[in-house]
Chain A
Amino acid sequence: MRTNDVILQTTTKVVFFIIFLFAIHIFFAGHYTPGGGFVGGLLTTGALVLLLLAFDLKTVQKALPFNFVIVIGIGLLLALGTAAGSILFNVPFFTHAFDDFTLPLFGETSLHTAMLFDAGVYLVVVGSAMTIIQSIGGDA
């Protein structure tokens, strides 16, 4: 069926990484500039969908052997765990903590537990969207 999409496939191989890295960037930038876990997740999904369009479902599954249902689970656990973790420090549910740290390579960096929560959101978005897309696309 797919005979003449060499151009698409070749571009995709490059573009996928550009989109993916941009998604990661947007995810991390989220707390200060536009972006965040939700958009980052969607953008990643977009990159994956591009892969799906250029190659077929089986090839993509072989290249990225994730079970996206489990990705959903990890994301939910991460989000809920971050929110619930505050209970351990005897502060109300969902209290975030943040501070500035000096890290090697990055220098002065602000670390925030909201980022962990956002990572959960990111994973759930990618997981859910990919689960839906894979099941609909794979239903042949």
Chain B
Amino acid sequence: MEFVLLIFLPIVAALFIPFLFKRMKRIHTGWFVLAVPLVLFLYYATYIPSTMDGGHAISELQWIPSLGISFVSYIDGLSLLFSLLITGIGSLVVLYSIFYLDKNKEKLGNFYVYLLLFMSAMLGVVQSDNVISLYLFWELTSISSFLLIGYWYTRDRSRFGALKSMMITVFGGLMMLGGFVLLGIMGDTYSIRELIASAPDFVGHDYFTLALVLLLLGAFTKSAQFPFYIWLPDAMEAPTPVSAYLHSATMVKAGLYLVARFTPIFAFSEVWVWLVTGIGLLTLFWGSLFAVKQTDLKAILAFSTVSQLGLIMSLLGAGAITFHSDDAVFKFAMFAAIFHLINHATFKGSLFMIAGIVDHETGTRDIRKLGGLMSIMPVSFSVAFIGSMSMAGLPPFNGFLSKEMFLQSMVAIRQFELFQFDTWGILFPVIAWIASVFTFVYSFYFVFRTFAGKRKEGQLPQEPHEAPVGMLVSPIILGVLVVGIFFIPNLVAKWLIKPAVAAIQPNLYSQPGDIDIHVAAWHGFKSVELWLTVGVIIVGALLFISLSKWQKVYGLQPAKFSLNALYDGMMSFSEKGMNRISRFYMTGLIRTYMIYIFAFISVAVLVILFTQDAFVVDMDSFAHIGVYSVINAVILLLAVCFVLLSKTRLAAIIALGAVGYSVALFFVIFKAPDLALTQLVIETVSVALFLLAFKHLPALKDHGETVKTKMTNGIVAIGVGITVTLVALSAHSQKLIPSIAQYYKDTVKTEAGGGNIVNVILVDYRGFDTLFEIAVLSIAGIGVLGMIKLRLGRKENSDENK
């Protein structure tokens, strides 16, 4: 089967959703949607055995073959892992949303259409082998994320958050497209596999570093890295299932995927290693630091997601070191990155769902109002506890294992001797450790401020109670995974992690079996990371206990100097600036616009005509001027003058008709019956139309024109007239290209089966022109209808604009 088509399965399913939502009112639409990710998950799971052996599968669907653009589904360890995450977490999230979103109050039709759209887009991102179609899917994830964040579009904050996320991620996407194009120029192909194969030749190419930076901009904006992370906290306005799915488990990991996928191409560069590791670590630190400041449950999780994404990013950067050094200590980083990516999806997904449950059952997410829910919501608390402890990096949860490997990798960076890491390398473990301390603090802050302590009576909008069973199923499954992975890490490694790592580091491993990393919870007392973890626990615990004393420190940062203020400033500056520019030339007067248009046409055409030496008049090529032509021309000129000088509208209309008829006579004189016929009928119809509308037209009167405006009008009119005349003369005299007339004469019978060339041109040779012309004509007709009907409507209902 062509499994590339499966990428589009969710979109196809989305077509039926509005129908199901309208017709099947009694069944929650989510139940139908659930089947899609579930089926896909089971299908993709069948690929595990083949990727475990280092195999891969390709399926291709041509799109624009002439430009080398196609949809290629390339399934190897890395894309399979992501596909399973997308469909697996997707199933759980859809299940959760069935209980989270009320089927009677919410616009489920919209919600699930957007969600399925996203699913297709995300599968496309991780499976595409062609960078152009990857870009297409990439922007589609941004758009569906925009739609989902703005799902409750009546709220100001939702619209703001949706726009912010789109501005930033689409900006990054466009940068990334630039990077792709440069890569395409360097490698003369858009296929990622072929690019990787020729990657060593790119080093030192002029575009190499530029392409690298552009690509990273795309990855960093999408994965909410510093300083682009600011969209993620605002994206929390989305319904919680969306936050759990897009903004923690899948979409924000697209940037990580991109970095991982392009590691074999760019890892040879020093800039890559520094940027990815450095920005990742900075984001990790920054996010964890500011997570403690937040008071909204979902905001805490948003900052923690930012921070955890930074952690994985820095590991991906550290993993790139293996392209420069064979030392075994660096091999852990990439493994740890993929491992933590899986772990993060499990524990963060469950935490988001719990935050949603708390919000749903108590009516608030403000941590200052919450507390003491442990006894009321024991199941939720247990899941939240498991998730938080895993996030803090404590045993016996999966976060502990990957966190240890992270610390180990950061410590190992000190031993890297290239690119000045030997001097600056010491910073990496230090920052990583401090960030881990804050991670510990916010994990505890999240779970214990919500569930432990005293209940704050009367502060909650609703009487809290435990969530319905259906809503708890998904977080419990994820919670079980969090614990389960701790006990069977090497099985997970064999199935999922090693195939993915082998796909990222083809230089080290030819197949997943070559990776000799064994995950263990216990490395003995001599291991550095153990003592680092112990340090984290001690310092973190102290900081958590004294939290209320130092949390005020965050208030010191003035709001003016935050990145959010920078974003707001930029937005309002560009809005105001653009407004000012548009106001400057958009006067709202048709006359002004006409002057722009006509002045531009005549200036541009005349300049080109004379600078390009295109102006030629060949007197010999002109037709003989007969006496009829002269008489006709005189009539024409007189009629035009009459139009300009007439005092009444009726006279002007009749004179205009005379102009048209004399032009038609010219067509007759020069033997163009089709044109003459058309011109005559058009003149008739338009004069009749004028007469029909005549009684509605106001009297022809002075519109307050001054001498100055009349002069301007005159100059513009004469300019356009001269331009058109000169162009017509030159066009007739220039014979650069042989006339196509002969071709028409030769083929009109044989190829087109007609006799009248003019008509055959209209319907056959240049049928496209006619097709679009009649489309324009239709739009004009409907436009006039709309304009007049609208005006009538406004008369009756004059306060429409209020």
**Contacts from A to B (Cβ < 8 Å):** 26, 30-39, 42-43, 45-46, 49-50, 52-53, 68-69, 72-73, 75-76, 79-80, 83, 94, 96, 98, 110, 112, 114, 117-118, 120-121, 124-125, 127-129, 131-133, 135-137, 139-140
Contacts and interface: CB of A to CB of B under 8 A. Distances in A.
Nearest to B779: A128
7 contacts: A26-B677, A31-B763, A49-B689, A98-B752, A125-B774, A139-B696, A139-B792
Given A83-B771, A121-B774, A137-B693, A42 B785 contact: no
B759 A31 contact: yes
A52 B688 CA distance: 10
A131 B784 contact: yes
B64 to A, nearest CB: 16
B681 A43 contact: yes
Contacts of B789: 135
Interface in B752-786: 752-756, 758-760, 762-764, 767-768, 770-771, 774-775, 777-778, 780-782, 784-785
A94 B678 CA distance: 25
Contacts of A127: 778, 781
A30 B691 contact: no
Contacts of B630: none
B796 to A, nearest CB: 14
B194 interface: no
A74 B691 CA distance: 29
Interface string B679-717: 001101100110111001000000000000000000000
Given A68-B781, A117-B767, 7 more contacts: A34-B674, A49-B688, A52-B692, A72-B781, A94-B771, A133-B689, A136-B788
A42 B762 CA distance: 15
A50 B681 CA distance: 12
Contact of B756 (A34, A37, A80): A34
Nearest to B784: A132
A34 B677 CA distance: 8
Contacts of A45: 685
A35 B674 contact: yes
Interface of B: 673-674, 677-678, 681-682, 684-685, 688-689, 691-693, 696, 752-756, 758-760, 762-764, 767-768, 770-771, 774-775, 777-778, 780-782, 784-785, 788-789, 791-792
B780 A38 contact: no
A79 B769 CA distance: 12
A42 B681 contact: yes
Contacts of B763: 31, 36-37, 96, 114, 117-118, 121
A112 to B, nearest CB: 6
Given A53-B691, A121-B774, A136 B678 contact: no
A50 B688 CA distance: 8
Contacts of B754: 31-32, 112, 114
Contact of A32 (B696, B756, B770, B775): B756
Given A35-B674, A83-B771, A114-B763, A136 B781 contact: no
Given A80-B771, A136-B788, A33 B682 contact: no
A118 B677 CA distance: 17
B501 to A, nearest CB: 47
B778 A128 contact: yes
A76 B774 contact: yes
A37 B756 CA distance: 13
B745 to A, nearest CB: 14
Nearest to B788: A135
A68 B784 CA distance: 13
B650 to A, nearest CB: 15
A133 B690 CA distance: 9
Nearest to A137: B692
Closest 10 CB pairs of A and B: A128-B781, A32-B755, A98-B753, A34-B673, A36-B759, A124-B774, A131-B781, A42-B681, A114-B763, A49-B688
B778 A31 contact: no
Main secondary structure of the interface of A (DSSP, over half): helix
Given A96-B764, A118-B763, A135 B784 contact: yes
Contacts of A112: 753-754
Contacts of B785: 69, 131-132, 135
B685 to A, nearest CB: 5
Nearest to B755: A32
Contacts of A68: 781
B782 A131 contact: yes
A134 to B, nearest CB: 8
A50 to B, nearest CB: 7
A140 B788 CA distance: 11
A117 B753 CA distance: 15
A76 B782 CA distance: 13
Contacts of A50: 688
Nearest to B682: A42
Contact of B774 (A26, A31, A32, A79): A79
Contact of A39 (B678, B691, B780, B791): B678
B771 A75 contact: no
A53 B690 CA distance: 11
B755 A79 contact: no
B692 A31 contact: no
A92 B53 CA distance: 46
Given A36-B756, A49-B689, A117-B767, A136 B696 contact: yes
Contacts of A46: 681, 684-685, 688
A83 B684 contact: no
A32 B753 CA distance: 9
A98 B688 CA distance: 38
A38 B675 CA distance: 11
A49 B692 CA distance: 9
Contacts of B759: 30-31, 34-36, 118
A137 B690 CA distance: 9
Nearest to B672: A34
Contacts of A30: 756, 759
A69 B691 contact: no
B45 to A, nearest CB: 39
A76 B674 CA distance: 23
A54 B763 CA distance: 34
A112 B685 CA distance: 29
Contacts of B685: 42, 45-46, 49, 129
Contact of B688 (A53, A118, A124): A53
Given A34-B673, A36-B759, A131-B781, A136 B689 contact: yes
A72 B692 contact: no
Nearest to A117: B763
A36 B757 CA distance: 11
Contacts of A136: 689, 692-693, 696, 784, 788
A72 B759 CA distance: 21
A45 B764 CA distance: 24
A125 B777 contact: yes
Nearest to A110: B753
| Residue from B682, B753, B762 whose CB has the most chain A CB atoms within 10 Å | B753
A123 to B, nearest CB: 9
Contacts of A121: 762-763, 770, 774
Contacts of B681: 39, 42-43, 46
Contacts of A132: 689, 780-781, 784-785
Contacts of B692: 49, 52-53, 133, 136-137
B344 to A, nearest CB: 48
Contacts of A140: 696
Contacts of B674: 34-36, 39
Contacts of B770: 79, 117, 121
Nearest to A96: B764
Nearest to B774: A124
B774 A120 contact: yes
A34 B689 CA distance: 25
A94 B693 contact: no
A72 B756 contact: no
Nearest to A26: B677
Given A38-B762, A72-B781, A114-B764, A31 B691 contact: no
